């Protein structure tokens, strides 16, 4: 399990709700987030860190995307 | 109805946060230590494995390394710890609005009213413990009791990641067998006095006649007797009620020993400047200045003097502190740490006797307030006295470095 920092395209609603739309993987490709299943504060025990955890479906695969104090990372 | 108080204590706080961010250190002994370069090299926190090796908070790095040569030493990251402290407080505030912080990693919660909705104290404590572990990745010990002192004892009783309930029915069984030092406000000196009089446990303290304790410890004797018998009724107050500031002070352990008055005056100016800034920020003026001096052998003295006029001017605080320092220190030994504290505080617009210097003083106040604005906008060192350029090795910024302030139980 490792931690990969990524660039994220996200949407901030006028109510202040943060929703990630897509992210750029290390190979430079942009991956759309199909669905956000859960949004919760959580610790990333295996990769190390803590933040708002978005459980996302990306191309049929579940990934944990964390927003940790202004930075985004994936626990993979 | 009896109160339900929780005391939540984040376990090995700094070290736990560091280990969370560095999973590779999971099975290694870790200690978060101050920077040894400016002589701040003491253990600030250690993890559970380092604890097994006997590493203790407050000891020097070399002592810790002697006990545990494989100890991983990390530098502190205060902004991160403050963030975690705030996150923990956000969780607590979802159970009650009566949350009183006691330092960066401890809080009291009065959940008496919440028990009607959320279940008893034990249930709330377990829920908080699990949420902290899941959401923050660190562990917490929770003490549940009917007063603040026993709640704190409960959180210390079993660690880490545990809940201890001390009720009116079981407190004698749990608390009374503990040594007196486990009670809040029984420090090494009080413990020594109590042991000298044959009082070794909290139970013995509770059963000693209060008049006898008063004779030994003065008014503290009565307070500790109240604590030991579970009669403490201090309310849990949210920080908004913490308006009654009794003093503002800063101290520095300097990167090198201070060997003469010139060195000391340099450091005193830094301290006076930061204390004055903090006074102005709180719209307070002081009438008494205390100077604290500690030498290389860790012997310390505190001396204080009254000012003739109310002030929050750095130059006046500096002048008085130099006066106190020169009267009380002869440099038979070199100075390791220095501190200035402004006490007897009053509001900045308090009436005071006018004198011939009044208008001059108004000008100086306006000048120092302008400096505050500049520093707030462009950083602490955007404007500085020329004196600060003379000895860069002693330069320090207490305003930004000392961001975690101790809290008193008796407000």
Interval A21-65: pLDDT, tens: 999 998 899 999 999 999 999 999 888 999 999 999 999 999 999
CB-based contact, A70 to chain B, within 8 Å: no
pLDDT per residue as tens digits for the range B199-235: 899 999 899 898 988 988 888 889 999 999 989 898 9
Mutation target among B10, B13, B19, B21 for the A interface, most CBs of A within 10 A: B21
pLDDT per residue as tens digits for the range B91-148: 999 999 999 988 889 999 999 999 999 999 999 999 999 999 999 999 999 999 999 9
Predicted local distance difference test score (pLDDT) of residue A67:
95
> Taking the CB of residue B346, how many other CB atoms lie within 10 A of it?
13
Banded model confidence at residue B243, pLDDT cuts 50, 70, 90 = low
Banded model confidence at residue B352, pLDDT cuts 50, 70, 90 = low
Q: State yes or no: B110 annotated in a binding site.
A: no
Mean pLDDT of chain A: 92
Predicted local distance difference test score (pLDDT) of residue B41:
80
Please tell me which residue, B173 or B36, carries the higher pLDDT value: B173
- Beta-carbon pairs below 8 A across chains A and B: 34
CA distance B128 to B240: 23
Residue B410 corresponds to which tokens in the numbers above? 């008796």
B23·A43 Cβ contact <8 A? no
Q: State yes or no: B232 annotated in a binding site.
A: no
pLDDT per residue as tens digits for the range B369-392: 888 888 888 887 788 877 777 776
Which of A43, A46, A69 comes nearest B134 by C-beta?
A: A43
Predicted local distance difference test score (pLDDT) of residue B183:
87
A48·B21 Cβ contact <8 A? yes
pLDDT per residue as tens digits for the range B399-410: 666 655 556 666
Predicted local distance difference test score (pLDDT) of residue B186:
87
CA distance B31 to B76: 10
CATH level 2 (architecture), domain B1-168: 2-Layer Sandwich (3.30)
Query: How near does any CA of chain B get to the CA of A23, in Å?
Result: 22
In this predicted structure, the answer to whether residue B360 has a pLDDT above a threshold of 60 is yes
Nearest to B361 by CA among B300, B311, B286: B311
Mean pLDDT of chain B: 87
For A44, the closest chain B residue by CA position comes to B137
What's the mean pLDDT in B161-170? Answer: 92
CB-based contact, A49 to chain B, within 8 Å: yes
B20·A50 Cβ contact <8 A? yes
Predicted local distance difference test score (pLDDT) of residue B409:
66
Chain A environment of B138 (Cβ under 8 Å) = 43
> In chain B, where are the structural domains located?
1-168, 176-240, 243-401
Predicted local distance difference test score (pLDDT) of residue B87:
94
B136·A69 Cβ contact <8 A? no
Q: Which of residues 176-195 of B touch A (CB under 8 A)?
A: none
Predicted local distance difference test score (pLDDT) of residue B190:
87
Predicted local distance difference test score (pLDDT) of residue B165:
94
Query: How near does any CA of chain A get to the CA of B167, in Å?
Result: 33
Q: Which residues of B are catalytic?
A: 106
Banded model confidence at residue A20, pLDDT cuts 50, 70, 90 = very high
What's the mean pLDDT in B231-260? Answer: 81
Query: How near does any CA of chain B get to the CA of A32, in Å?
Result: 26
Which of A41, A42, A46 comes nearest B23 by C-beta?
A: A46
pLDDT per residue as tens digits for the range B276-330: 998 998 888 999 999 999 988 888 899 999 998 889 999 999 999 999 999 999 9
Assembly ipTM: 0.91
CB-based contact, B84 to chain A, within 8 Å: yes
Fold that domain B243-401 belongs to in CATH: Dna Ligase; domain 1 (3.30.1490)
Query: How near does any CA of chain B get to the CA of A52, in Å?
Result: 9
A69·B22 Cβ contact <8 A? no
A42·B87 Cβ contact <8 A? no
Banded model confidence at residue A2, pLDDT cuts 50, 70, 90 = confident
Fold that domain B176-240 belongs to in CATH: DNA polymerase; domain 1 (1.10.150)
Chain A environment of B20 (Cβ under 8 Å) = 43, 45, 48-50
Q: Are B348 and B313 in contact (CB under 8 A)?
A: no
B21·A69 Cβ contact <8 A? no
Predicted local distance difference test score (pLDDT) of residue B146:
94
CA distance B181 to B179: 5
Mutation target among A2, A43, A52, A64 for the B interface, most CBs of B within 10 A: A43
> In chain A, where are the structural domains located?
3-75
Q: Are A57 and A33 in contact (CB under 8 A)?
A: yes
> Taking the CB of residue B79, how many other CB atoms lie within 10 A of it?
9
CB-based contact, A40 to chain B, within 8 Å: yes
Chain A environment of B89 (Cβ under 8 Å) = none
């Amino acid at each position: 399990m490792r931690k990969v920092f990524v660039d994220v395209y996200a949407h901030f609603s006028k109510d202040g709700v943060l929703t990630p739309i897509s992210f750029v993987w290390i190979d430079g490709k942009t991956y759309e987030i199909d669905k956000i299943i859960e949004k919760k504060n959580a610790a990333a025990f295996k990769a190390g860190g803590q933040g708002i955890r978005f459980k996302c479906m990306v191309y049929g695969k579940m990934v944990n995307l964390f927003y940790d104090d202004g930075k985004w990372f994936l626990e993979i | 109805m009896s109160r339900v108080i929780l005391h939540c204590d984040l376990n090995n706080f700094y070290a736990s946060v560091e280990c969370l961010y560095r999973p590779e250190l999971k099975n290694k002994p870790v200690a978060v230590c101050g920077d040894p370069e400016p002589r701040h090299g003491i253990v600030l926190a250690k993890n559970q494995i380092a604890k097994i090796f006997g590493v203790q908070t407050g000891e020097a790095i070399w002592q810790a390394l002697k006990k545990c040569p494989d100890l991983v030493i990390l530098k502190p990251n205060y902004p991160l710890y403050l963030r975690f402290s705030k996150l923990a407080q956000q969780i607590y505030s979802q159970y009650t609005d009566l949350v009183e912080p006691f330092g960066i990693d401890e809080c009291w919660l009065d959940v008496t009213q919440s028990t009607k909705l959320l279940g008893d104290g034990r249930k709330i404590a377990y829920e908080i413990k699990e949420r902290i572990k899941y959401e923050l990745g660190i562990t917490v010990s929770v003490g549940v009791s009917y007063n603040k002192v026993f709640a704190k004892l409960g959180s210390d009783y079993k660690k880490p990641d545990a809940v201890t309930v001390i009720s009116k029915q079981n407190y004698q069984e749990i608390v009374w067998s503990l040594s007196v030092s486990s009670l809040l406000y029984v420090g090494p000196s009080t413990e020594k006095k109590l042991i000298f009089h044959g009082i070794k446990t909290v139970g013995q303290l509770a059963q000693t006649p209060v008049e006898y304790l008063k004779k030994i410890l003065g008014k503290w004797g009565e307070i500790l007797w109240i604590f030991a018998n579970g009669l403490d009724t201090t309310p849990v107050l949210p920080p908004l009620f913490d308006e009654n500031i009794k003093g503002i002070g800063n101290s520095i352990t300097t990167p090198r020993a201070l060997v003469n008055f010139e060195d000391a005056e340099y450091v005193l100016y830094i301290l006076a400047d930061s204390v004055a800034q903090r006074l102005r920020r709180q719209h307070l003026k002081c009438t008494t200045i205390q100077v604290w001096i500690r030498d290389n052998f860790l012997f310390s003295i505190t001396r204080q003097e009254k000012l003739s006029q109310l002030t929050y001017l750095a130059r006046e605080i500096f002048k008085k502190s130099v006066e106190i320092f020169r009267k009380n220190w002869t440099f038979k030994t070199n100075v390791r740490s220095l501190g200035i504290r402004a006490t007897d505080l009053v509001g900045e617009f308090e009436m005071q006797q006018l004198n011939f210097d009044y208008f001059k003083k108004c000008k100086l106040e306006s000048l120092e307030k302008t400096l505050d604005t500049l520093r707030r906008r462009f950083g602490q060192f955007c404007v500085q006295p020329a004196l600060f350029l003379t000895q860069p090795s002693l330069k320090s910024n207490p305003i930004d470095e000392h961001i975690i302030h101790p809290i008193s139980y008796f407000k």
